[in-house]
Amino acid sequence: MEQYKKDFIDFMKDSDVLKFGEFTLKSGRKSPFFMNAGGYVTGAQLKGLGEAYAKAIHDAYGLDFDVLFGPAYKGIPIAVATAMAFDELYGKPVRYCSDRKEDKDHGADKGGFLGTKLQDGDRVVMIEDVTTSGKSMEETVPKVRGAADTQIVGLMVSLDRHERGKGDKTALKEIEELYGFPAHAIVSMPEVVEYLSEKGELSPEQLAQIDAYYRQYGPKE
């Protein structure tokens, strides 16, 4: 496992963003783990988050893109932090863009987007915190493709929960097949479990709960 992945797992734990216990998801599933990207609230945390995304995007897609698109609302600070990290780590100027929940009908920046204006030929990397159902992509992919003649290079999420989406495959696999672009994560939950188990930071009870969860909701691939 790459060092930046290990560092990010420790970072999620230290930021109290990745938790273990019993949580009810929007889908109604009872999960033994939960990741809340809204828990990154300090400047240092946002800086670390942006650096982790930048390293993972660079690893997956290189530098051949122009715009980072973060869906409102949680995607906005992630896109901004990642754009800053690309400038600092790789010396690459990257524009950021986000959609608005409601169109703005006044001022110089009226419309449905925040940040840069999407242009013909723009190569876009989509950013999300965590994808379970792919619902956010249903809303934002048509917006990005409809705003200009853009190319979506791929999607990057911070954590791949690695559970079934709407069918038998993971949500990320479903997104790849539905929209025709690759989808990656900084880390996957199996990588998290492997790393924390090696460090002795997960109890036998927690491991048993996670195993039971995946027997019920894991992908059938």
Q: Would you say 55 is a known binding-site residue?
A: no
Q: Would you say 74 is a known binding-site residue?
A: yes
Q: Would you say 106 is a known binding-site residue?
A: yes
CA angle 130, 214, 204 (to 5 degrees): 105
Active site residue 104: yes
Tokens of 148: 């200009």
Active site residue 106: yes
Q: At 152, which helix (H) or strand (E)?
A: strand 151-160
* Gap between the Cα atoms of 118 and 13, Å rounded: 35
* Gap between the Cα atoms of 119 and 114, Å rounded: 14
Q: Would you say 162 is a known binding-site residue?
A: no
Q: Would you say 158 is a known binding-site residue?
A: no
* Gap between the Cα atoms of 40 and 42, Å rounded: 6
* The one catalytic residue among 13, 47, 106, 143: 106
* The one catalytic residue among 13, 58, 92, 104: 104
Q: Read off the DSSP letter of residue 170.
A: B
Q: Would you say 95 is a known binding-site residue?
A: no
Pick the closest to residue 65 from 107, 22, 126, 132 (CA basis). Answer: 126
Q: Name the β-bridge partners of 207.
A: none
Q: Would you say 136 is a known binding-site residue?
A: yes
Q: Would you say 130 is a known binding-site residue?
A: yes
Q: Would you say 169 is a known binding-site residue?
A: no
Which residues are annotated as part of the binding site for 5-phospho-alpha-D-ribose 1-diphosphate?
26, 73-74, 100-101, 104, 106, 128-136
Which residues are annotated as part of the binding site?
26, 73-74, 100-101, 104, 106, 128-136, 161
Residues recognised as catalytic: 104, 106
Which residues are annotated as part of the binding site for orotate?
132, 161
